[in-house]
Every structure is written in structure tokens, then in C-alpha cells.
Amino acid sequence: MKLKKMPYDLVIVMPVYNEEECIVNVIQSWLDILSHIDIRFQILLLNDGSTDSTAQVLTVFNKDPHINIINKHNSGHGPTILMGYRMALDMSDWIFQCDSDDEMKAEHFPDLWQKRMNYDVLFGIRHNRSQSSGRKMISMVSRLTVKHLFGKGISDVNVPYRLISNHVMKKIIAHISDNTFAPNLIISGLIAMYKYRIYEILVPHESRKTGKESLVQLKLWKMTLKSFKQTITARYNCSV
């Protein structure tokens, strides 16, 4: 049976929320990098109900054939990522997810892309990341939770710099509900559990220079607890 040829080699899933100050530069940096690679690509920009001028700022890309802007009601970072993942499944052979805050630069993407044929999943691991003590604790708990429930194999389980082949994403995303707060945790866990071929490189992480984090400390801990419960549930559902 001949496999259906996808319209694109790559779809980038980029959730956006209140990034009016940096989003144009971030998108342009990706366009510049990808234009130097022999690749058919599209960037899915999912504006998750931004309350600033993000939607208006994004109109500068309305006529760019490589950009697909989706203005949606706010549903949160996780559900927005999942929406993008599900859309990308019918569009491309490879799916890459990154955030829109410019903390991890586009210039490091070619290093992942060049290695893709020998791996199923490729991660950029956050290097020299500056975190508060609370976020360090949450990162450690997340890493240990995924390792205990699913198995080891991924160094940065929630990193927003991941390249995943279509066939892997299609199998994994079937186990994840649309309202999941931190789907990348579960995706990392299932990748480890199914023993897919993993490649990791260090990618410099820079602190946010514009805007502000959408989760204050108390809300962050509440959402972390919710994510912990959802991750356990997903692991159980994969066992039954």
C-alpha cells in the first residue's frame, strides 16, 4: 500500500498568548532559518485568546503562505498545543512544537532536522536555564514522575522544543484527552515507555525579555497538581 504524501515535511506548532512585543521577531527568525533548508513547511500560530494586541500584530503575516494563524478562545497552553498537534497529523511527516517567547532560538533547529532520519523523536534540552526555586522543584517532580511511571530516556520531560515523527505522534496522542494541562509530560512518558529512538541536544535557554509569565506561583502549583493527576491517569489508561 502506497503511503499518502503529506502536503508538508514539517509543521511547527506554536501556541501564542500575549506576546505582542516579541512575536513578529520570533516568527521572522523561524522563517529566516527554515528558508535556508530545503523543506516544505508551515507554521501553525495558535493565538490562545490573547488579551493584548497579539491578534492585530499577527496580521502582518496574513499573506505569508508559510503561516497559518488561528485565533481561538482561551483554553490554556496544553489544550492549545494538542489542538495544533491534531491538526498537524493530517499535514506533515514531522511535527515540531516550540513556544513563542523566544527563550529557545530557531537557529538551533537545523541541528535536530539533520538527524531526524535516524530517530523517531528529537529534543532540544534547555541548557543554562534560570529558574526560581519553586520551578526547579516542579521540574524535578515532573522528571521523577515521568521516570517512575513510564521509564527513563528523556532528560527534559516538558521541554517546548521537540521534533516528533507523524507515526509516533499519531499513536501517542490517541491516549491524551483534549483538556490535558501539560500534554508534553505524558508524551515524553509514552515515548520512553514505547522505547522510541530518542536524540537530544543542548539548546541554550534565555530568560524571557518581554511580557510576563501567565501563571503566578500559587496557580502554578495548583496546575502542577492537576498535571500530576492527569499524568497518572494517562499511564493507567495505557495499561488497560
Supply the pLDDT for residue 136.
Answer: 80
Contact 4, 29 (CB under 8 A): no
Question: Which ranges in 12-132 belong to alpha helices (H)?
Answer: 23-34, 54-58, 77-88, 109-113
* Residues present in the chain in total: 240
pLDDT at 195 over 90: yes
Average pLDDT over residues 65-94: 97
236 residue type, one letter: Y
Residue 226: the pLDDT is 81
Lowest mean pLDDT among 17-26, 74-83, 183-192, 208-217: 208-217
Mutual orientation of helices 77-88 and 183-193 as an angle, nearest 10°? 50
Please write the tens of the pLDDT for every residue from 211-235: 555 555 557 667 778 887 888 888 8
Can you name the residues that pair with 16 across neighbouring β-strands?
47
Q: Are strands 121-127 and 161-165 parallel, antiparallel or unpaired?
A: antiparallel
C-alpha cell read off for 174: 490517541
**Mean per-residue pLDDT of the chain:** 90
CATH 3.40.50.300 applies to domain 8-237: no
Q: Which residue has the higher pLDDT, 139 or 21?
A: 21
For residue 218, what pLDDT is reported?
A: 55
- Of the listed ranges 53-57, 94-98, 144-148, 206-210, the least confidently predicted one is 206-210
Q: Nine-digit cell at 86?
A: 491534531
Over residues 134-154, mean pLDDT: 85
- The reported pLDDT for the residue numbered 216 is 53
Report DSSP state, residue 230: H
Task: Report which residue type is found at 205.
Answer: H
Would you kindly state where each structural domain of the chain is located, as residue ranges?
8-237
CA distance 56 to 67: 15
Looking at residue 90, the DSSP 8-state letter turns out to be T
pLDDT at residue 132 is higher than 80: no
| Predicted TM-score (pTM) of this structure | 0.90
For residue 235, what is the enclosing H or E element?
helix 217-237
Concatenated DSSP letters of 112-176: HHTTGGG-SEEEEEEES----HHHHHHHHHHHHHHHHHH-S--SSTT-SEEEEEHHHHHHHHTTS
Provide the pLDDT confidence category of residue 240 given band limits of 50, 70 and 90: very low
